[in-house]
Amino acid sequence: MSLFIVADFDETLIDQNSLFPVYRRLSRKPLLYHLLPSLLRGHWMKRGLRAAMKREIYRTMLRGLPAAELEAIGYQIAPKLSFKQAVLDRIRQYGGQDLVIASAALTPVVEGVLQAKQLPYARVIATQAEIRNGVCTGRLLGGECFGPIKAQRVQQVRHRYYPEARMIAFGNWPDDRAMLRHADEAYIVSGHRIRPYREEESAWRKASFSSGLPTVTRKHPSNRG
């Protein structure tokens, strides 16, 4: 049976969160300087704290930035980023299968880093910046590629390009739970530890049950790993 591999990027395939070196390169002001106005205006109450903060970060970084400069960022920050060798080793054990990167980071950043570090990949599923007349507007196309949105986009790619293939996935917990639960074989990366997704999911369900939190059980025929 054929298979393909899906890996989250920040803090899964690489040790760091790529957003911070990108922000430092594109903005001269402290991050808090830009976040406070958004928080004070109450945007977080409508979108949630994380979504409001990320929206403001992207708006600040990207608005007015030439698309050509965005495309170069990945190459520029690549020396500051390092792969998690344990994850690379595990991926290489599957022997030359298609590697799909699924990330909340910006697509040109992910592609630039991978190309600069000469890591072969088949596709990148990531956050897309809106570009008009060769300039970034500060908005995102279809929202940030995170959580359920990332999981949905991964499934779209799977159905289109790998309809009969077995899916092996690597990601964070709990951010990538929605993506991992659809994989045939899934792993959670924490630091340099790699552990089966089912173990974490089982522990989470037990903790939720003990604390009285509601849990929803769904059957996923493809999740056999």
Amino acid identity of 145?
Answer: C
* Residue among 166, 196, 199, 160 at smallest CA distance from 184: 166
Fill in the amino acid letter for 103: S
CB-based burial label for 28 (10 Å; 0-12, 13-18, 19+): exposed
Fold annotation for 3-211:
Rossmann fold (3.40.50)
* Number of alpha helices (DSSP H) and beta strands (DSSP E) in the chain: 10, 7
Q: What is the pTM of this model?
A: 0.85
pLDDT of the chain, 225 residues: tens digit per residue: 699 999 999 999 999 999 999 999 998 777 776 667 666 665 555 556 677 788 888 988 999 999 999 999 999 999 999 999 999 999 999 987 899 999 999 999 999 999 999 999 999 999 999 999 999 999 999 999 999 999 999 999 999 999 999 999 999 999 999 999 999 999 999 998 999 998 777 776 667 666 665 554 444 444 444
Helix, strand, coil shares, percent, the chain, to 5: 50, 25, 30
pLDDT at 43: 55
Contacts of 214 (CB under 8 A, 6+ apart): 208
Spatial separation of the C-alpha atoms in residues 143 and 93, rounded to whole Å:
34
What pLDDT shows up at residue 1? 63
The per-residue pLDDT for 181 is: 95
HSE toward the beta carbon, residue 44, CA cutoff 13 A? 11
Query: What is the predicted pLDDT for the residue at 30?
Result: 77
Collect contacts of 27-32 with beta carbons under 8 A, ≥24 apart.
27/60, 27/61, 31/57
The CA distance from 88 to 119, in Å, is 10
